[in-house]
Amino acid sequence: MNYPNGKKKETGSSGMAAKTNKIFSNRGMSLEEDINTTNQYYLDTDKAIIHKKPTPVQIVKVNYPRRSAAVITEAYFKQASTTDYNGLYRNSYIDFEAKETKNKTLFPLANIHDHQIRHMEAIVKHGGISFLIIRFAVYDETFFMPAEKLFTHWYDKLNGGKKSIAYKKIKDEEYLIPFQYQARIDYLKIIDKLYF
């Protein structure tokens, strides 16, 4: 026994099981956290340079409760943001959006905005790699969808088609990104298969 908490010390194979569970204990993290961790791993291992884009904000009011502290009390978005992430990989420009849904049966296209589609189209037109990462939180599954496939669904919606993409369709036709320890959402493996 370990005092003062009275818990039994983990030893042997049960200790290994606890370590394994600890590795996957972070799977409940948000998609953004997982991508940021993955991008940091890519940067640390000199694999790619990909960062989250800052959202442009106009600060209007600031309070100074102490000399050393400032608190922003009012701010507005300067403009609609484009996509979440961009950077460089194997001499190619990478630009993508990441969305998480709690829906069990579909991904609502309302999660994507017209200006984001236009931005992604411009990236593809100029030879960049653009895509959407979708996580179905209920199943803890993350998928890679090339922008060109997203455009098909988007324009179908605008022409009176479905306002969402069925989970089953995504599962059957898109690329599952398996969860890993270091590169949690290793989307570069899929980019290697599709583009290089």
As a whole number, the mean pLDDT across the chain is: 85
pLDDT above 60 (res 89): yes
Domain boundaries, the chain: 28-54+80-195
The topology under which CATH files domain 28-54+80-195 is: Trna Endonuclease; Chain: A, domain 1 (3.40.1350)
Annotated binding site for Mg(2+): which residue ranges?
A: 82, 84, 97, 116
Which residues define the annotated binding site?
82, 84, 97, 116
Which of these, 129, 130, 98, 128, lies nearest to 112 by C-alpha position?
Answer: 98
- Are 86 and 47 in contact, with CB atoms under 8 Å apart? no
The tokens for 118 are 């236009």
Q: For residue 164, what are the β-bridge partners?
A: 108
State pLDDT tens for residues 33-54.
Answer: 999 999 999 999 999 999 998 7
pTM (two decimals): 0.77
Residue 79 pLDDT grade (very low, low, confident, very high; cuts 50, 70, 90):
low
Where is average pLDDT lowest: 59-63, 169-173, 186-190? Answer: 59-63
pLDDT at residue 53 in the model: 86
Query: Alpha helices of the chain — where are they, by DSSP H?
Result: 12-23, 31-44, 114-125, 147-158, 167-173, 187-195
The pLDDT value given to residue 58: 73
- Cα(89)–Cα(163) distance, integer angstroms: 33
What would the pLDDT profile of 92-146 be if each residue is shown by its tens digit? 999 999 999 999 999 999 999 999 999 999 999 999 999 999 999 999 999 999 9
